[in-house]
Amino acid sequence: MKKGSNLEKNIGNKSLMFLAINAILGTGIFFLPAAGASIAGHSSLISWAMMSVVAVGISLYFAELVGMFPKSGGVYEYVKQAFGGFAGFVFGWTAWIIANLTIAMLIAGSILYILPGAGMLVSISLALFFILAFNLISYSGISVSTKLLLVFGILTIAAIAMLIIPGAASVSLSNFVFLAPISSIFLAVYMISETFFGWETVTYLSEEVRNPRILPKTIIIATVCIVVLSLLLVFVSLAISDVSQFASSQAPLVFLSSVIFGSEFSKIFALIIFIPLIGTAASWIISSPRLLYAMSRDHSISNKFSQIHKKHKTPHYAIMFQTAVTIFLTLAAFGNYYTLLSMLIPMIFLMYGAVMLSVVKLRISKPRQQRIFNAPFPRIGPLVIVVFFAILLSIWFSTPNALATIVMVFMLMTIGVPLYVMIKLSTDEKFTEKFFDKTSWFFDRLLSIWYKSGDAQNVISKLDLNQNSIVLDYGCGGGTTTSKLAEKAKNVIAVDISEQQMKLAMQKLKHKSNVTFFKYSQVPELENYFDAATAVGVLEYMKDPKKEVGKIITSLKKGGTFSFLSFGRSIGFPAPQFAKNEETIRMLFKDLPVKITVKKENKKLAEYWYIWGKKIK
């Protein structure tokens, strides 16, 4: 897959602005004014003012980053550029988990607003309908998606304005009583912060914007608009309603509409609110697969997610995968809006903290990188925001269930790491070399669980060996196979990508004078040289296993024999693409002058694929 984008550039200036407002505003503005009031009463207005200042600051730094790297990866791209591929993956994965939790929360929150007393069957049916409908629209192309999001963005602003403008006429400043302690004000900041989160959603669409240079300005202006709308709405809410009733309301803006317009109109307003609420879910559903697309393009996750639909120009496999995950999470946590929120906020703080640190790092490491927008105080400002997040997290950590939530957060953030390692080991030669260099001692002992001396003898028994044989051990690892070959052959050429792995093998074989070690990158291309060849647990870590098989067969003399062992599905992990079945394995040898036998054994929770044969010409 080539690095350039195949996505369709079809998002204009106006559409991007409303999309940004709708995506960032989220459900927070419809639920969290009540949550803030329940913690700090009227003083929660101070909390909103504090978070507003921080939000504008974050938007400035996102604006700088998106101007530097207008790519679909967003958070993933920024952290990768600053701290390397692994850090990029961890926070890109975190961003994708956040997106899915957010969508589940939005769906749950939307239905809670319109049907607070609905049965589970009705609620689930509605949730599935909207998830499938929005994903179908997303699949159909960015042009259709943009038009939909533009409508939702306008309706979001209109719904909030419907409360602010008439409500302002009833405002009484004498209603305000600021008595909450500082700790409550900060805890309220923590709870309401989700209202302003979502800048990354806009960045995921960077490669589909007609003029990417407008992205920095759009993010800043959208944030300022959200700050103004939020402050005005909270001010009006606290000024005209009974704060205790408002704080206890499950649908606070519906309660507010009843105060302004009467209880009969509030039922209609619940429907009005539902439309922008579900529209916010649409924003996340449409934008988030672009993150998978960007990560896949860098071989951080399955390469299927970087494939673009020929007709619709959308990352269709990424969209289908996210549809399945969204449905699962929505059903698993259905109706638990505040449970989902409790997991989201600390995860978002950690992710945004990494983004803020990326600004500082990139100012130091890439001072001459082109920046469409230069944020003020680039080295101090982001650090202040990180410290602010740390203070909020420390205050929240004293609340019940915080420790259990943090454990869950770290589990969600790291659950994708094994997948990342597996994919990088089969796509990135430098990563593979470093991985085995650093884990050689551990990996040698781990592999010994599945590959013992008896297994090595089984592999070697398929070869025609004598005291004059010259043998290639392709991927010698810790030397288990090499030592068996050294007992039966004249000379053994042992090759491995990892220097540390070879050192382990050398130590084991220090008394064997007929073994010569070569690093993978230094092996000359030989033809018709070896009498036999082995490759145990090697093809799984090759970007192009068919090419490697071709090299091994080419190096054999006519009549030379080979014996490979590859592992398919193992302890629940999926099989490499080439080892899914016998047919895919035989495809590795297509058009090669060989006669082969393939045999599968299931043992030790793994599939053992024995592949052996002879070069016939």
Q: Using one digit for the tens of pLDDT, what is the confidence trace for 486-513? A: 999 999 999 999 999 999 999 999 888 9
Neighbours of 571 (CB within 10 A): 9
Q: Based on the domain organization, do 499 and 373 belong to the same domain?
A: no
Mean pLDDT rounded to a whole number for the chain: 89
CATH number at residue 268: 1.20.1740.10
Residue 307 exposed, middle or buried by CB count within 10 Å (0-12, 13-18, 19+): middle
> What is the tally of structural domains in the chain?
2
Tell me, yes or no, whether 583 lies in a domain: yes
pLDDT of residue 26: 66
> Does the pLDDT of residue 594 top 70, yes or no?
yes
Q: What is the pLDDT of residue 3?
A: 46
Report the predicted TM-score, pTM, of the whole model to 2 decimal places.
0.83
Q: 606-615 and 556-570 as β-strands: parallel, antiparallel, unpaired?
A: antiparallel
Residue 317: inside a domain, yes or no?
A: yes
pLDDT in tens, 405-450: 889 889 988 888 888 888 888 888 889 999 999 998 888 888 888 9
Indicate whether 4 belongs to any domain: no
Q: Are 449 and 533 within one domain?
A: yes
The pair of structure tokens assigned to 255 is 């309660």
Instruction: Flag whether 81 is in a domain.
Output: yes
pLDDT at residue number 464 = 94
Residue 138 lies in a domain: yes
Q: What is the pLDDT of residue 230?
A: 93
- Same domain for 189 and 299: yes
* Radius of gyration (C-alpha) of the chain in whole angstroms: 29
* Domain-located, residue 421: no
User: Are residue 372 and residue 460 in the same domain, yes or no?
Assistant: no
Task: For residue range 520-554, list pLDDT tens digits in order.
Answer: 888 888 899 999 999 999 999 988 999 999 999 99
**pLDDT surpasses 80 at 163:** yes
Flag whether 401 is in a domain.
Answer: no
Report the C-alpha gap between 611 and 596 in whole angstroms: 7
Domain, as residue range, for 460: 429-615
* Bridge partners of residue 495, in order along the sequence: 474, 518
C-alpha to C-alpha distance for 482 and 368, rounded to whole angstroms: 51
Question: The CATH number of the domain where 608 resides is what?
Answer: 3.40.50.150
Sequence-distant (6+) residues with CB within 8 A of 580 are: 568
